[in-house]
Chains A and B, each alone.
Chain A
Amino acid sequence: MNGMRQLWRVACYEWFDALRSRRALVVLLLYMAAAVCNMHWSINILHKLENELATMLQLPQSERTGVISTALWKSKPFQRMMREMAENDLVLQDITGKHPVELIYAWFAFFYTPLLVVLVAGNRIAEDIGSGAVRYVIFRTSRASWSLGKWVGQTLMIGVALLLSGVGAYAVAKCRLAGSGTPDLFLNMVQWSGRAWIYSIPYLGLAMGLSHLTRSASKATVTGIIAITVCFVLSVLVRHFSTDTGWGAVLPILGLLIPDGHKMYLWRNAVAPLVTGSVYLVTLGLCYLLAGYAVFRKRDV
């Protein structure tokens, strides 16, 4: 019980400290700006496409973006076409019912979250080990409380970043896209932020687990970037080279060990796959972190 209390104290301080750390703040603001810009540019592209479509069909051009897209998105033939293009029917079934704005933001959040995680949190532990700041803490609490507390604190920090980026993207969509200002859409955007947050947890575990192995903050960041690249390459291999027999049969098992192997659960609407995916991803994050901690526990600081 005392260990949990200590862990929470470290986490709260870490969160607080990360929020006011200039570097983390800059990355957080950049991420939010990127989410907003991504939404803005995506709407621009959508507007261009709609105008071209209207010209081709000799229809009057709409002043506001989204009117045609929303109608198109909801049309049965378009949804059927999308389903045929995608490999995962269940996911597609779920996402074709969503507003395009949600999908634009969700794609952005899922794609860039690993990078955000590495840039914000990838060096936090190595930095404290390298500067010696950890020495002021680990005679007051256990190394385990410190490591896990840092991880939880950074998880909260990433949560704030994703929530803000979701709200920013919603604000842009509300101003620029017809029929996008509904409270439902706002809640859905927050929900997508939450899903991206769950997806960030294993990457946090990976980056911070690796951060235990070095005293150099820059080395930790570089290692983190290499690790997410390896994860990305592995996920591509798993997606394209999985077979039922031979070496290709090993790839799906390997896929379970990387966050991407469980990502699609988070794109589903039903509660069961969402919960399953969340549990998998959090456990995976914890396993990555504990692997790094196992080395840190035995090392000199």
Chain B
Amino acid sequence: MSKMNTAIETQDLVKRYGARRALDGLTLSVPRFAVLGLIGPNGAGKTTWMMSVAGFLHLCSGRVNLLGGGPFDPAVHAGRISILPQDSDLPLEGRPLELLIHYGLLQGLTRQAAAQSAAEMLQEVHLGDRLNAPIRSLSHGMRKRVMIAQCFIGYPEVVLLDEPLSGLDPRELAHMRAFLTRRRGRQTLVISSHNLHDIEVLCDHIAFIEKGRTVRFATLDELVGKANTLIYQVSQEPADYAPLTAALPDASLTFEDSSSSLICRYDPRLTTAEEINRRLLPALLPQCGVTTVTRGASLETEYLKCLPQESP
């Protein structure tokens, strides 16, 4: 990945809290305009990584290069990066509109641009009717929406979102997913979440973080095998594989007992998913029922495969 195409480059980051290493040599590069999902258990280092990138934490060692301008420096990066920090309250006496205008002015917008951007963002998060309500009077979900809105004031190049969708009601959740999806390809987003479904819907790149290190980094398509894997949910394991392998001489078939699915891996340069279906299903259907066919595995499956096996 060339430096021009990298929004965030972090190398061998180490952050210690006493004897505990929150980041233990974490290396991660985020391509420009990517939507990267950070996945990992509690305490894996996702939040610490984000806070280090935003300049909230002082690293013990390692290198951060943000938008080609070195580590975070407000003189260079103000207005170009924003963050939704976890467990951080907005000033309780503030009003959403004036607070966002204040933030806009601080990041270098003109008063007019800040006012316009603040009003637009608050409309976007469905808080148009609470522009001047004190933050203390807003519900948890509404506050979360103000926090999300503040991230997008002035259209920053990089937005770091730590658990952006937690605490939202189903309607707002769907709306916010759509809002974030619309940002794809226009801004670099990094989203940390424990909700793998949200990550799968929103992100095009995935990083698994474990014990302060990057365990795996790939595009979502690579990770779940969207381009080369078909998964058939079947009623039972096929009794006879011979007609199946005869129909698909260039593909491999494996049966996964735990999920009762037949996994077909193929070379996308030689054939297509439609062609596989056309040839495999006539051979498969006489032997067992097929309930669904999906492209690639679920992110959850791939993530769980990556986890170290717990001893019984």
Contact = CB atoms under 8 A, between A and B. Distances in A.
- A complexed with B: yes
Contacts of A133: 88-91
Nearest to B101: A13
Contact of B150 (A2, A9, A136, A300): A136
Interface in A20-52: 20-22
Interface residues of A, number: 25
Interface string A123-142: 00000100111011111111
B91 A135 contact: no
Nearest to B106: A140
Interface residues of B, number: 31
Contact of A132 (B85, B93, B94, B106): B85
B83 A139 contact: yes
Given A9-B106, A13-B102, A139 B91 contact: no
Interface in B65-124: 72, 74-75, 77-79, 81-83, 85, 87-94, 102-103, 105-107
A17 interface: yes
A10 B106 contact: yes
Nearest to B88: A132
A298 interface: yes
A10 B102 CA distance: 8
Given A6-B106, A135-B56, A140-B103, A128 B91 contact: yes
B55 interface: yes
Nearest to B77: A139
A135 B83 contact: yes
B133 interface: no
Contacts, number: 73
Contacts of A135: 54, 56, 83, 85, 88
Given A17-B94, A133-B88, A9 B105 contact: yes
A62 B106 CA distance: 61
A138 B105 CA distance: 13
Nearest to A22: B93
B58 interface: yes
A137 B106 contact: yes
Task: Kindly name the residue among A6, A9, A138, A139 whose own CB sees the greatest number of chain B CB atoms within 10 A.
Answer: A139
B57 interface: yes
A300 B79 contact: no
B58 A298 contact: yes
Contact of A136 (B58, B81, B88): B88
Contact of B88 (A6, A131, A141): A131
B208 to A, nearest CB: 25
A301 interface: yes
Contacts of B83: 135, 139
Nearest to B103: A140
A301 B78 contact: no
B89 A140 contact: no
27 contacts: A2-B75, A9-B102, A9-B106, A10-B106, A20-B93, A21-B93, A128-B91, A131-B89, A132-B85, A133-B89, A135-B88, A136-B88, A136-B90, A136-B103, A136-B147, A137-B106, A139-B55, A139-B77, A140-B74, A140-B79, A140-B82, A140-B103, A140-B106, A141-B78, A142-B74, A298-B58, A301-B57
Interface of A: 2, 6, 9-10, 13, 17, 20-22, 128, 131-133, 135-142, 298-301
